[in-house]
Structure formats: structure tokens, C-alpha cells
Structure 1
Amino acid sequence: MADLHNSSTIPGQSGIPSSARTAPPDADGCGDEVLLELKGISKQFDGNQVLDNVDLTLNRGEAVAIIGPSGTGKSTILRIIAGLLSPDEGEIYVQGNRREGLIEDSPDPVGIGMVFQQAALFDSLSVEENVGFLLYQHSRLPARQIRQIVEDVLDMVGLPGTGSRYPAELSGGMRKRVSFARAIVSNPENPQDRPALLLYDEPTAGLDPIASTVIEDLIRAIQRNNGCSSYLIVTHQDSTIRRTADRVIFLHRGKIQWQGPVTAVDETDNPFVRQFFSGRVEGPIQMVH
């Protein structure tokens, strides 16, 4: 499975200004508009209730981390939002418009891009072909213009001059950045395709602390460079939560157990949050052995 970009297509430190790192989006009022709303979302797999009547609202310009133990429905929420999976119950609204069906059934009013935990690049394609896949397949742009667009996006994610390389020649962190580039590339002749919402599923999983910092900085830089773009990020890593999120949602057993600003995670007395960040075995989160 690869990156999802826009509402109708499924394809899969250098260069980042210091002013873009870790800072929240400018307070320009763009966060007042509700971009995404989930109402009463439920989902079962083989009789296992993964999501149980979940309500979630995301404003334009917000950066929200969904955290919690493994197997509690975090990635499932992302796939439902992306239109790759249908809920059993509930309603999804994108910029006030109710979504019916999956991504291929009807276009959303805003672009949605998704970066999966595994970079999911096409091994037989070069970096340039991977990043430009959407444009090569679904636009009438000349190849020369697509190559220039791809070069610009690769430069944005700190990978200039890598277009001719193949995924096997890249480190794990570099492959992640290529997948980011593919998620945000857009057709200049269709500016409405530019993703207003990005979904990140464990973007720093398996990376060393330095590579994780590069990815965290990149996530914030992409948000700022795209203006009022919003994102949801699923992660377990403490540094990623603190450096990329404005607001945190804690999910356990298919329900939201707590939500609040990232600055409140050290102050709340919520037992789920306290156990999660302390790593204690004792508490309401019981691991299955």
C-alpha cells in the first residue's frame, strides 16, 4: 500500500528553515474553520470492537497526535478518514460535506494525503518516478514539467539531487522523506488537489533519534509551507508527540479516554495518560501477553 494523495487517487535537516522547526502554525485565524468531523464512528473486525462511537473534530491548521497502546484503533481511524476503509456506523464530514462511501465513490472538497508507516515506495521505480507517480498517471503535464515539480518537492524535504536513485539505495529516514514528498506533490493546474489534510501513521517508527528529529522538523516545515494545512499523526514516540502536536487525543479500547493540549500531558491526572508516559505496567492499560 502506498501514499494516498487527494480525494480521488491512491498511488503509495537540510533545506528546512530553522523558523519552521517545531513551531505551531501562525495564529492567523485559519484554525477557526472545522475541516474534519467524525460523529459516532464504530468499526469491528472479526467481532473485535476496534472503534466504539468515536467523535473527533479537527480544525484547519491544527496538528493533532492520536496516541495510545498498540491495537487500539489509531491506524484504523486514519484509514477511515482517508476513505480507504468504511466505518460500520457513524458519519464523516469533510469541510462540512458528508462523505458517502470510499475514496473512489465521490471526491472530497479538500485534498487528503496519507503517509503510511512503511514508506511503501515502488522498488522498481526511481525516486523521481515514485514522487511523480500521481502526476504521470493522472495529469496531462509534460514530463519535463513533472520532473521540475518533483525536483522542487524533493528539495523541500531535504533530498535535492536524489531523483535518479532507487529506494534500495536510500536509508530508512530518506525513504520516509520520499514518501512525504509523494504525499504532498500536486498538480499546479489543479490547485484544489493540494492536500489540506495530511495523515501520518507512525512516521518516526524504527528511526534513530537523529533521524526522528529530521522527520519531526519536516512535518512542521511542510505544515508551515502549505499555509493552513492540518494533520493527524499516529505515534508512540514521546519526542514526536511533543514536537509535532498541538493537541493530543488518547485512544484506548476504541474510545477516546482523554484529549487536551500537548502542554497538558505532564499535568493531567488522567490514569491512562499517566501510565502511558511513565511506562508503568500497573494501571488501567493492561497488556495482553
Structure 2
Amino acid sequence: MAEPIIELKKISKTFGDNKVLDKVDLAIKQGEALGIIGPSGTGKSTILRIIAGLLAPDSGEIYIRGRKREGLIEDGENPLGIGLVFQQAALFDSLTVEENVGFLLYQHSNLSRQKIRELVEEKLEMVGLPGIGDRYPAELSGGMRKRVSFARAIMANPENIKDNPEVLLYDEPTAGLDPIASTVIENLIRDLKAKTGGCGTYAIVTHQDSTIRRTSDRIVFLYHGKVQWDGKVNEIDTVENEMVRQFFSGSVAGPIQVIG
């Protein structure tokens, strides 16, 4: 068995009186497509932010390539490049697409503007959006903004290999999109996994049935702050776990409590 490249051990996180994560164990292996699912408010996005080093757990340990992480991402050298794709794309409205995608390089490299433009165009071509570098986010559809955020997440710095993303974390990448736009994004996530210069390992948080089935190989199901099930995506329709069955059937009857 391959060793995990990212491993969470007994991770807990509380916001106010709400214990979102309760001693969660989670591992991501090289080349894996991991889906993190469960009802709303069960800590899925919180886990992504903890993995990315943007949020510290209250307790527990995080290992990156076998090395324990201390503090947040800016507190030490990270042995693994991790890119996070936010749910709302999180583009800078005042910057062009080129400036958004090339933001890391403009801020943290000595590359010429022409070289950065060339690298940005390569990434835009990879996400199916060549030639839009001079547009602003407001001029793009929701699906296009999502793809631009993908291009930004996979942008590599040729001057510093440690900045190059090896793992992508997707937070609800198809939220708010129509079925056709969702399919485009789902296909792109799979394509980027296979492409040179893309990212071969990822974890994705989603509620959307088609996204779960088309982008994930392995699934972990979170509820009440704990991993309630861990299995392969092709086991979804035959698993006997009542929570998983209720989640995918959309039934209001079952162990998952319906709020409101």
C-alpha cells in the first residue's frame, strides 16, 4: 500500500458551541481522486481549509509527505504544493483574467511580463479558455469564472518548484451551475488529473450527485463531525450504510436529521 501524501490524525475543530470535526482521520494518496461528501454543515469545507493550511485545527496532527505540519501554511516550508479552488472562484474583480491567473508569478517571481503571459495562456488553453486574458471577471459566465480559477490553481512557478501544485482541493466546484456547465467542469477536473502540467491528485467537496459519481474514485462521508463511511464510488448504490443510502436517495426519513 502506498503511503499517504496527506494524512490527518484525530483532527477536531469547534466553532462556538458547534463541534464541526470530532477526531477525524483522513488520508489522501498520490494519484487519488477523493470525494468528501455529507449533509451541509458537517465540516467538509473546514477539512479542505485545514489541509490547505489556511485554518488550524483545535487538536490533532497533520502530516504532509510524512512530515508533521506545525502552524499554518505561512509558518513553515511546505513539502507539497497544494492548490485550493474556492466555491465562488474568488477572482479579483479589478484584475484581468491574465493578472488573476498569473497572480502568484507577478507577486513571487522575477519572470518577465511576457513570460508570465505565455505561461498564463498555456493554463487557459488547458481549461478550454484560450485568448481571454484581457477580459475581466465580470465579463465571464459563472462556468468560465470557475475554469479561470482552475487555471490559477494549477499555475506553476518555473523559478521555484516548491510553489508548483501537486494536490488540488476543490470546494463545491459545480455549485450554482446548470447541468451542462456542471458537466463541462466535471470533465475538466478529470482532464486536468491526466494532463501534464495539470494535477494528478485531488480532493473534492460536493453535494451534486453527478459530480460525486463522475469526479471521484473514493468517497468519505462526513456526519456529526466524524467519517461515517469510506468506500469506492462504485459502491454507492449497494452499500448498506443507512446514512449514505439516505443521502443519495434524498429521503427525509433516516438517521440524518432534517433541519427546518
Q: State TM-score, norm by structure 2.
A: 0.97
Matched position secondary structure for 1:251: strand
Q: Deviations over 1:45-82 (max 9, x none)?
A: 00210000000011100000000000000000000000
In the alignment, the residues of structure 2 paired with residue 220 and residue 192 of structure 1 have an alpha-carbon distance, to the nearest angstrom, of 24
Does residue 171 (structure 1) correspond to residue 141 (structure 2)? The answer is yes
In the alignment, the residues of structure 1 paired with residue 231 and residue 45 of structure 2 have an alpha-carbon distance, to the nearest angstrom, of 20
Report the aligned-residue RMSD. 1.1
Q: Deviations over 1:2-57 (max 9, x none)?
A: xxxxxxxxxxxxxxxxxxxxxxxxxxxxx824211000000000021000000001
Aligned equivalent of 2:251: 280
Does residue 261 (structure 1) correspond to residue 224 (structure 2)? The answer is no
In the alignment, the residues of structure 2 paired with residue 228 and residue 94 of structure 1 have an alpha-carbon distance, to the nearest angstrom, of 17
2:72 to 102, 117, 129: 102
Aligned equivalent of 1:182: 152
Q: Deviations over 1:193-218 (max 9, x none)?
A: 22111000000000011100110111
How far did 1:100 drift? 0.1
In the alignment, the residues of structure 2 paired with residue 193 and residue 125 of structure 1 have an alpha-carbon distance, to the nearest angstrom, of 22
Using the aligned pairs only, state the percent identity.
69
Does residue 230 (structure 1) correspond to residue 201 (structure 2)? The answer is yes
Q: Deviations over 1:87-119 (max 9, x none)?
A: 001000011010000011012101000001001
1:69 to 27, 39, 47: 39
Aligned equivalent of 1:248: 219
- The change in CA–CA distance for 1:33 and 1:225 in structure 2 (over 3 A counts) is farther
Task: Report if the CA contact (8 A) 2:167-2:199 is conserved.
Answer: no
In the alignment, the residues of structure 1 paired with residue 226 and residue 67 of structure 2 have an alpha-carbon distance, to the nearest angstrom, of 24
In the alignment, the residues of structure 1 paired with residue 93 and residue 52 of structure 2 have an alpha-carbon distance, to the nearest angstrom, of 24
Matched position secondary structure for 1:219: helix
Q: State TM-score, norm by structure 1.
A: 0.88
Q: Deviations over 1:207-258 (max 9, x none)?
A: 0111001101111111111477211100000000000000000000100000
- The change in CA–CA distance for 1:179 and 1:228 in structure 2 (over 3 A counts) is closer
Paired residue type of 1:176: K
Does residue 141 (structure 1) correspond to residue 130 (structure 2)? The answer is no
In the alignment, the residues of structure 2 paired with residue 109 and residue 204 of structure 1 have an alpha-carbon distance, to the nearest angstrom, of 29
Q: Which runs of 4+ in 1 moved over 3 A?
A: none
Aligned equivalent of 1:271: 242
Does residue 37 (structure 1) correspond to residue 37 (structure 2)? The answer is no
1:217 to 178, 184, 187: 187
Task: Report if the CA contact (8 A) 2:85-2:169 is conserved.
Answer: yes
Task: Report if the CA contact (8 A) 2:165-2:199 is conserved.
Answer: no
Matched position secondary structure for 2:74: coil
Aligned length: 259
Aligned equivalent of 1:56: 26
Matched position secondary structure for 2:71: coil
Matched position secondary structure for 2:203: strand
Task: Report if the CA contact (8 A) 1:60-1:228 is conserved.
Answer: no
